[in-house]
Structure 1
Amino acid sequence: MTAWLMLAKESGKRIGEGYDDNPATHYSWDDTVPNHATVKVGDVIVLWDATELVGLSVIEDIQQGQADKKTPYCLKCGKADVAERKKKLPRFVCWNGDCKHESDTAGWKDKTVVTYRSRHEAGWIPARGTLMAPELRALCVKPKSQNSLRELRWHDFQQALAHGSVPLPLRIIDTAHDTIQGGHGTATIRVRKGQPAFRKQLLATFGEVCAFTGPAPVQALEAAHLYSYAANGKHHKGGGLLLRRDLHRLFDLGLIAVNPQTKTLHLHDDLKPFPDYAKLQGAPLAVSVTPDHVKWLSQHWGMHRPSAPQAAIPQQGGPAQVPAAS
């Protein structure tokens, strides 16, 4: 598995305009950055702020575009390897190993750049402060690199986190990687927006209710397919529920599943360290479902819980909806 340490901060070495970072959901860069085209869907993205680790996830999608940008360059060597200092003077320093020129000014030029924007919120694990800057630099393939995108030694990075003082659910990364790389999850993760008629139909059927947690603001609800919509392009009867955005992602990854017999939620162990999710273990669905819904939920269960029986599970939040004996 390939992993990248990426600098996520609004100023400092990420100078220039056009960057759009939200560590928990997306990260942006352009083709002026070394390794810009090497990062791929399915790679691990590890974000830091030059002081400490912020969090990590798996890249679900990379959107490409174009933008006009003012880019700095060194007035001595002419290379675009310039960092802007905030406290120390002179203001600019050249990163080029053969130059290291310091100056109060830099050259600026207009350039059309290729932009890249990752989407990685499905498997996001907040990890602020679990590793500090010196540790992160030492875990890079090239520890002395000054690039904003640096390749990490993934195995060593995992070991460093595993032996840290704060336990992190790192299996989420493996699950997200395997899901994104192939199979059912790739399609469902990428089908996020659009389908307005499908969402409108679900709102008319269920109201402003998340099927897992209950009433929720309509702005937070997404139309979740219970099957791989991208694989067949059809809206099947009983094939959708309204889910809160974060729960939609976790359902697609199989980190949350619905026991089709008890109609209760079943969480992967990786979610249980998080109290807001752990309390959902065994909770009944917040909406009534049809036999068609149960059919699709059964397929999802069989894919993500192949070895788990469809029997009643210990509950929190209400009695199981167990079908009457025939």
Structure 2
Amino acid sequence: MTVDPPTGWLMLATGADRQHGGNDGYDDDPDLHYSWDDTVPNARTVAVGDRIVLWDKKAVIGASLIEAIETGSAEKILYRCPRCNGANIKRRKRRSPQFRCFPCSDTFETASTRVARVATFRTRHDANWIDLGGCLDGPTLRDLCVSPRSQLSMRALRWDAFLEALGNVGRSRAVAALNSSSTRPRLGRDGHRQVRVRVRVGQREFRRRLLATMGPVCAFTGPGPAAALEAAHLYSYAAVGRHHDDGGLLMRRDLHRLFDQGDIAVDPNTLTINLCKDLLAYEGYATLHGQRLAIAPDPGHIAWMEKHWNQHRVEAD
């Protein structure tokens, strides 16, 4: 009997707080990549083309499609209980002794350690990333898993049920975007997955050109440190697959995410910033509403902004 692979994965992304086998955690950057190694259950089951949802135990962070998985190896320090030699131990943040072993309930200040060579994995999933901003809470996400009581950091998710849950909380635009970008991979004759995806090749060079042309200026808020600015596409790179110089502007990371999901748009007739109703409740964003752009856009920029406006304002009405 052939068992179908999971339709999606719920992945815990809490950086150094995400521990397995008493290790030192992982270097997740949720909207770019997700890391794990072969000490984690399902380590070799997750594949290119799989759909993923990242959360932080409290709420959903975002969702995407895996474009690529980088593999490698590393030496890793593993911590174990000195009493039972079990690996299911956790550091305690506020109590002493600092370690607790869950199988035997022992507590101790110093763990046994060993160095192991592990296989490492890191996704690339930024091209299709959708920021979901906590719209589903932790208990809801657990109930959407194939095994709701699972404690694994990477657990099988019922993808169709997840999309339905998003629709129920008014995130229909996110559902449409995820449906259009998250095409299931096909299995080839050799059993390997084949998938067509958009990887942002040349993104670094694209950002370098924008900085050279416009200087370190956020299109919405004005001059700022270059390190805080991202190269934002005014169109869906996942759909177009090319870097158009007249289709990009520099934006602060939070504003970039809000622009991508249509919560911020630019009126192409007045070149003023338009915020969705929900953002007006936040003083730090509300002051931008109705303000002119901080840069002078080219006709090409305006044409892309008009397409974005039509998609997120005209068609949404």
C-alpha distance in structure 2 between counterparts of 1:162 and 1:240, whole Å = 30
Match of 2:70 in 1: 64
Secondary structure of the corresponding residue to residue 193 of structure 1: helix
CA distance in 1, matches of 2:283, 2:31: 18
Q: How does 1:155-166 map to 2 (within 5 A)?
A: none
After superposition, residues 1-326 of structure 1 pair within 5 angstroms as: 2-6=8-12, 8=14, 10-11=16-17, 13-14=19-20, 15-17=22-24, 19-22=26-29, 26-36=33-43, 37-38=45-46, 43-49=51-57, 53-59=58-64, 61=66, 63-70=69-76, 82-86=87-91, 92=101, 108=114, 110-117=116-123, 119=125, 123-127=130-134, 130-131=137-138, 137=142, 139-153=144-158, 170-171=171-172, 173-174=174-175, 176-178=177-179, 180-181=181-182, 192-195=203-206, 197-203=208-214, 207-227=215-235, 231=240, 233=242, 235-236=244-245, 238-268=246-276, 271=279, 274-305=282-313, 307=315
- TM superposition score normalised by structure 1: 0.63
1:67–1:275 distance in 2 versus 1, CA, 3 Å: farther
Distance 1:93 1:193, change over 3 A: same
Whole-angstrom distance in 1 between the partners of 2:314 and 2:55: 34
Distance (Å, rounded) in 2 between the aligned partners of 1:89 and 1:210: 44
List per-residue Cα deviations over 1:169-219 (Å, max 9, x = no partner): 74564255246437xxx859776423355124322xxx4322122232222
| Distance in 1, Cα, partners of 2:99 & 2:252 | 49
CA distance in 1, matches of 2:241, 2:18: 46
Q: How many residues of Structure 1 are paired with residues of Structure 2 in the alignment? A: 284
Percent of aligned pairs sharing the same letter? 33
Query: Which consecutive unaligned segments of at least 5 residues does structure 1 have?
Result: 95-99, 310-326
2:295 partner amino acid: V
**Amino acid in the other structure paired with 2:14:** A
| TM-score w.r.t. length of structure 2 | 0.64
Larger-gyration structure (1/2) = 1
2:64 and 2:182 in contact (8 A); partners too:
no
- Give, in whole Å, the separation in 1 of the partners of 2:298 and 2:99: 69
Contact 2:101 2:107 in 1 (8 A): yes
When the two chains are superposed, the root-mean-square deviation of aligned CA atoms in Å is 4.7
8 Å Cα contact 1:58-1:176 kept in structure 2? no
SS in 1 for 2:266: strand
Find the aligned partners of 1:128 and 1:292 in 2 and give their Cα distance. Answer: 34
**Deviations 1:104-162, CA, capped at 9 Å, x for gaps:** 98795623403124556953345499546xx7655532133232212345676788899
